[in-house]
Each structure stands twice: as C-alpha cells, then as structure tokens.
Structure 1
Amino acid sequence: MVCIAPVTKEASGPASHATIPATSSGFPCRLIAMKLYISSFIGPSSGLMSVSMGPGCTTFIVISHLRGGVGGEVYKDSLAFSGNYYFPLTGWKTSAAHEFHDERPAYGFDLRTKGMFPDFPWFSGELTYEQYYGDKVDLLGNGTLSRNPRAADAALVWNPVPLLEVRAGYRDAGNGGSQAEGGLRVNYSFGTPLPEQLDYRNVGAPSNTTNRRAFVDRNYDIVMAYREQASKIRITAMPVSGLSGTLVTLMATVDSRYPIEKVEWSGDAELIAGLQLQGSLGSDLILPQLSLTATDEATGSVTAPVVGTEMRARTLCINNMDCTDAFNYQWEISDEMKSWKSVPGATKATWLLPYSLNGESLQNKYIRVRIISD
C-alpha cells in the first residue's frame, strides 16, 4: 500500500510558480464609499485644516488617510519664498486605486516662490519644485507610479477683484507625466463688506501686513505612495492511497490572487517517475512497482521499502533448516545506516511497515532486523 499524505500549504512570494508536494431599491444614486482626506498643517503664518471629499452618496464615511506637515515662509512685500515638509499620519491601507496594492500619504517636500509686479497687482506668478519619496508614488494623481518623483510647476495668477483668484499653470513630473492646471479660488475676507471685495480698484500689491495674515502656500492635495501587497498562495492536495503498481489520481487546488503560470509536483524520485502530467493540477500517477516482501539475508537490512509492505525476517540454522520462529527479533530503522533506532513493539519475525512512526515518515528509510533472544 502506498499512501500520499494530504498537504495544505501557504506561501508568500511570486505567485507565478506553485510547487505541490506529492506526499435593487430604485434609489437613483449609486452607493459608494467616500474617502475623507484630512491634511493638517502647522506653519508660522497660520494653521489650516483642509477637507477634500469625493462626489457621490453613501450610508457612511470612512476616514482613510491623515497627513501632517510643517512649513515656513520668508516674504518682503510682493516677493515670498516658502517651503513645506509632508509626512503620513496613518499607516498602510488597502488601496482602491491600484489593485493588489496598499497606500498611504507619501513623504516629501516642496519649495515655492511667488512674486508680483507692484504696478500690476492683478497679476502674479509662482514657481514650485516638489520632491516625494517612495518606490511607487503617484505625484500628479494620474495613476502613474514613479520612484522618488519630482516635479517643476509654473503658474500665472490673475486677481480681477479681491474676492476672486483665477489660476492657470503647468506641472512637469518627468516620467510621472505632466498636466495643465486651472482653477478658481474664492478669497472671502470676513468683516470686509462684499462690495469692497468685488471692486477691482481694491486689488493691491501685498505688504508685510497682508502677508502676515495669509496662509503658507502648500500642496493641499495629498500625494499618495503605494506598495504591492505580498502575494499569498494556498495549496491543498487530498490524500490518495493504492497498491503498488496501481493507477491513482492526484488532485490539488490552488487559491491565489494572481494567475498561476506553472505547476510542478515534487516528491520522492520513485513516486514522481510515475506521474503522467507534470504541469497539471490534476494528474494520474502509477505507483512504484516494488516487491511486497523484502529480505536481505547477508546484511539483514533493506532500503526504500514501500509503506504497507510486510517486512519478514528469516533465520536458517544447521543444514539450512528454517528456524525463524525459534527466536525473538527487534526491527530497527535508520536514515544513513550509521545509527539505528528500535521500533517499539516490533519484536516478531514479521512487521507491517507503517506510513509514519512518531510523526516521522518511513519512506526511503533503511530497515533492519536483529535476533535478540531465543
């Protein structure tokens, strides 16, 4: 009898190679989970908490990511220089944007320059340099992942009235892509009558006083970093048994998030030699043709027995008389024929070789028998 033990195996690593041992309510709104991004910032000019929320409707809101930052600004009337450093406040979470990836806010910094012509206070310009760190970072939010990406930005800002700011710019992130930007910002000043905020004549060049009350310029969009999730493979094979030389069917199942590109069965050489389809999860197997009994009168040992084999000792006395039953025996096993272990209870002339002993497989073990008494 040949027995192949069931196997359940979990592994982490590349999922392209598996090795299998042979031993509706009518509501007109799509329910989606909105992400809430909170970016908290501390700077010498002021503090800011900005909230950006995806459109849609849902029964709950999930706070996904938190980002922090520190920044500073140096200014002189119509010219200002600022810098910011960003860092994540939340850890890695499963990403909805990239399959099989985790995401979190990326580490990074930016340097910004903003200037204005005093004689033309309606127009100003901005230059920005950005650098973020990580193996997979989506700097522009366009789905392109780059390693330690950097970008250069240029923008022109028009203030037709104090209340409104129209912005147009361009960002170049090299391998991460590029994009044109445009936007409208409302700068409402509490305590100032609305007609004054809509009067173009009130647009003036910034001063040290106005700069002191302004927010530090920064990137209000959270730049995300990604990492690929570790692949997990679960392999399960059912046990099979059969007599020597018979045909049995091996069948395994593989649970993997990635497609399996190659299947390879492994095991004892004698066993694998009878495999009919090496690259298939299901394959017929011809069990090895081995003798049902095995003796070695010269050394009293035998190698590579098949589990289920009845081991038999034979003792010859004077004139080649069979006197096997006149003695007591001790069956022993060994890995390399250097040290032998006695099999408890195996003290008769015959011994049915089990599949395992004390949890250890007996396949391909050395077997011997000794006479211990008469």
Structure 2
Amino acid sequence: MAHVRPPSMASARPCSLPQVAASSPSVSFPSSSAATVLTRVRARAEAQLISAIASERAMRWSEVVAHYTALLKTLSKEELPKDFEPGPYYSQLLFETYYHLAVAFQRQNHHQEAVQELNKAIDVASIPKIACRVGCVSRTFLHTPLFARRAYAYVKCDRLKEAIDDANKAVELDPLNPDVYCVRALVWNTMKEKKKALFDLNCSQKLKPCHISTLIIKGIIKNSLMATGDPQFLGKNKDHEKAYKLDKTSKNFFDVGDFHSPKMDDFYDRFLWSLNVPHTIMQVNLLAGSSFTTQLPSDSFHREKRMDLLPGQRAGSFVCSTSTSYLDNTAFAKRASYGKALKDSGLKLNGSEISERILRITRAASEWSEKRTSCKSVKEDSQTTEASTSGTLACKKKPEQKKSEASKTKSNK
C-alpha cells in the first residue's frame, strides 16, 4: 500500500461514493439516546482509524490488522442505533477500511483473507440497480484498484482463472491506464504466457512510452525469451536501461516479472501507485448524509422485497436488462461497448494484431456516443435538404420543359 502523506485535518475532504449527488450532504438530528450512542461510536472509530494508519506507516502489519478489525466491529450495524441509516461517508470509510485491511493481510502472506476483505469492498462500492428485484449491481471506477489487487491475491492462492478474470475487469473499467495492463501482464507471465504478457505491455507502452513498471516487466520477459542465461545481459537490456534513467531505484526491481516475486508488495506500491486506494477520510463523521428510518417517508418502490433467485442461480449468472442508476448512462454504455469488443477481439486475434486492435477499439468506444447522437441529426438534415432541393427544382422548371418531359413519357410507353 502506498504510504501517502494525508492532508491536514482542516483540509481533509471526505470522498463520497458515486451513487449520491455531489451536493452537500444533509445532516439528520437524532434523538438524545441515539446521539449518545453515535458520539461514543464516533470517538472509538476515530481512535482506531488513527492507530491503524500509524501502524501502517510503521509497517507493523499485525497491529494494522488488529486496529482495522476493531474499527469494522465498531462500525457494524449492531453497534449503531437500530433506526440509523448511514450516509455515503460511512460507505466510503468501510470501502477504504476493507481495502487497507486486505493489503495488511497480503503483507503477512495471508492472501485468502485478503480475498475475503476485497470481496466486501467490492460489495460496498457497487451501485445497486434501482428497479432490479434480483439484486444486480453496476461497477464504478472504485472497482478498478479492487479487481487489480484481488487478481494479485488470486494468483497467490493458485486461482489463476479468477486472477485473469479480475485483470480483464480492471482493463475494461480503466482502459487508458497503463497500470492495469501491467497487472494483466504480470498475471499472464505468472501463467507462463509470455507472449500475451508482451502484448499487454506493448499496449501499455503505447499509452505511456516512459512507463517505468512496463519497462521493468518487459525487460525481464525479453531476457527470459532470449534464454541467454548471462547475468550481465541486464546491463545491455534497453528497457531496463531506460527505466534506470527515469528512476535510479528501479534497478532494485529488475528481477520482478510476476506476482510470485518476493519484492512484489514494494513494486506494487511504488510503480503501480494509481491502483492503490489512499486514505480520504481522516475524521469520522457518522451524521454526514445519514438519516433515521423514523424520519423517512414511506417508499414502497425502493423498499420492496427482492425476488428470490432460482435454485442454482447466482446474481451474476445472467445479463440484467434493467437500466443502471448512473446519472449519465453514456459513460457506462461506452465502457460496456468497449469491454464487449475487447473480449470478442481477444478471442479471435493472435500476435501483434491485438495491441493495435485494442487501441482502435478504445478510440472507437470514445467516439461511440458522439456518432450515436450526431447520426440522427445528420440524417434528418439530409432528408430535409433533399426534399427542399427537389421542390426547388420542380418550381424552377419552365412550362416548355414540363410539356417535353410529358411527351417523352408518352412516347416511351
């Protein structure tokens, strides 16, 4: 996990989950008994959060696990008033806590426990589809670091199929981020699929030619493909030489080529920093954006019971046609169309064609919504122009021309 220095308490601005509007959250006023409970919970939770972050900086991972576990217990629904409905800041705090707890487990080589905590973080970050009675959800940008981190954990658990599935999901969610291609390349290289790893690294390098992690991984894969066995070859590796010029400390990671490397944790934090989740909440405020069920109006549409699944059916075992709860579905549609096209092309193409294909699909996806909106207006304009042009020409014809055209028609008949 990246040890980013947090902002000062005065300037700290908590980040809400995307299913709520960006407007200032409203604050409900609880009863005196509920206020007393929330005050005690808030004080305990904030003390545990500060202790957990301090232990992270000191890299005392067992203490980190203990503090975050205590924090989650304090924030559990059993500790809160029964009629308390938490707001987005509560969800964001849970999201960050699950993630950092998973990282602490990985630092102790407890990857199965890390998978369990990342599963919980994915559930918290998911956006429920409002009208879906089965319980389908939509993914958000917050899922990208979770899928990337879980791919790493799955590899360490020898669940390679799940690892590559999560790496694909991370690429679909953030296709213009070179870090996600590096994660998938690390998974491919762990599976001994070196050529597929190079395809992803080529795509990453086209997005950012001076991407250090790409240069490090690409250099070691090229060495292994050449199979020289000469340790001095590292000094002649152009990718490693370029990485060294960009960052002198990169030479310490020139042997990192897959997720089984003992240096992977430090490599992930240093060179794949965009896939880490920083601490955005340093002060616990349970009342921000929250409400109480006794103060809420009855809403049978949003509170109706979900439909039970059929025997053997999972929530994600089918494609739900219910619209998402995004305020703007255009971004989601572009992302979905790109993901589908990427999967289709990945199954059909081999060799260097896939890198170029991925870039073409990315550009096509970015233009998708613009074409969709412009085609209709252009078609209507062309039809209007044709109608007006034909009408104008008919009006401009002289009587002699009309008579000659009529006589020609009779003669042809």
- Fold-level match, TM-score > 0.5? no
Whose helix fraction is larger, Structure 1's or Structure 2's? 2
Q: With structure 2 as the length reference, what TM-score do the two structures score?
A: 0.23
Whose strand fraction is larger, Structure 1's or Structure 2's? 1
